[in-house]
Amino acid sequence: MIISASYKTDIPAFYGDWFEHRLTEGHVDVRNPFNNSNYPVSLKKADVEGFVFWTRNLAPFENRLKRLIAGHFPFYVQFTITGYPTALEPSVIPLEQSVAQIKKLVADFGQHAVIWRYDPVLISTHTPLDFHRRTFAFLSRELEGSVNEVVVSFTQFYRKTTLNLKALQKARGIYSEDPDLEVKQDLLREFRDIAFHNGQKLTLCTQPHLTSLDISGAACIDAERLGLAPQKSKGNRPGCLCAASRDIGAYDTCIHGCAYCYAVSKPKKAKAVYHRHSPLNSSLT
């Protein structure tokens, strides 16, 4: 089984001690968000085909990646860099540090070890279309030669996302919008051309209504990138092209505080969970 760690939270940035304990013990208990029951997931070497890590800050995890993962398991990192203002991403490391981390990751492990995510594309008063054109072009140039794929998606206004953005609008006067289909398609074509110029393939995460012959869907959990045999897609929502995996994270645990997050209902709640967390627990919460 491929282990996803984790699209629900940032394990490399905040929960490295816990991950190391779980890997040593050989199992993790994962909370089912629908009924709050736990189910076990094996982390034994015989059962794990590879790891996909998701992060905005790999530095706290870098040593563990070298000691525990590289040379023991196939892996790669989904690394999100958007460069948004701190009003939207209050606790994310500076853009320059993120770029430097990706370059070091590639120097240590090769280009296959990382995918850049410019995700989600939030259109707001602080991040209008021109902001995205400039920022995406800058990051794509900076990452030329380091990454060969960039995954994008437009903000999907799930319940948690909508509540957090409304709170931000009330507190800071920052308005967000969901642009028309044509606007999104035009921006995607610009992204595609910029990425292509810098040796990167643009893929689109779980928004099949926006894909086309020259912009394909993303397989964020990609068996072939891990060096495994091709697997049938088994995504967890319509349009998802991911290979089968088990995610070992938990909702309401990431403390980056991003205003558009779909995985955190309230930043204060996530911080409270983080401070109560014990690295010795079998589950993250």
The number of folded domains in the chain is 1
8, two tokens:
């629900």
Within a domain: residue 59? yes
Quote the pLDDT of residue 269: 94
Range of the domain at 113: 2-276
Of 92, 41, 29, nearest to 260 by C-alpha is 92
For residue 281, tell me if it sits in a domain. Answer: no
What 8-state DSSP symbol labels residue 66? I
| pLDDT for 262 | 92
CATH of the domain at 139: 3.80.30
pLDDT score of 237: 77
The token pair at 204 is: 């689109």
Give the residue among 220, 277, 275 at the shortest CA–CA distance from 6. 220
Please give the Cα distance from 106 to 113 (Å, whole number): 7
Distance (Å, whole) CA 79 – CA 156: 19
In a domain, 49, yes or no: yes
Contact indicator for 155, 161 with CB cutoff of 8 Å: yes
- Nearest alpha-carbon partner for 12 in 49, 48, 66, 74: 66
- Which two three-digit tokens encode residue 26? 């050989």
Q: What is the pLDDT along the chain (285 residues), one digit of tens a residue?
A: 999 999 999 999 999 999 999 999 999 999 887 787 889 999 999 999 999 999 999 999 999 999 999 999 999 999 999 999 999 999 999 999 999 999 999 999 999 999 999 999 999 999 999 999 999 999 999 999 999 999 999 999 988 999 999 999 999 999 999 999 999 999 999 999 999 999 999 999 999 889 887 899 999 999 999 999 988 777 777 789 999 999 999 999 999 999 999 999 999 999 999 999 999 999 998
Is 167 inside a domain boundary?
A: yes
pLDDT at 208: 87
Residue 116 lies in a domain: yes
In a domain, 23, yes or no: yes
pTM over 0.75: yes
Classify residue 64: in a domain, yes or no: yes
Integer angstrom CA distances of residue 243 from 40, 70, 208, 223, 234:
20, 21, 17, 6, 5
Q: What ranges in the chain are assigned the alpha helix state H?
A: 11-14, 16-25, 62-64, 95-109, 129-142, 159-172, 181-197, 267-276
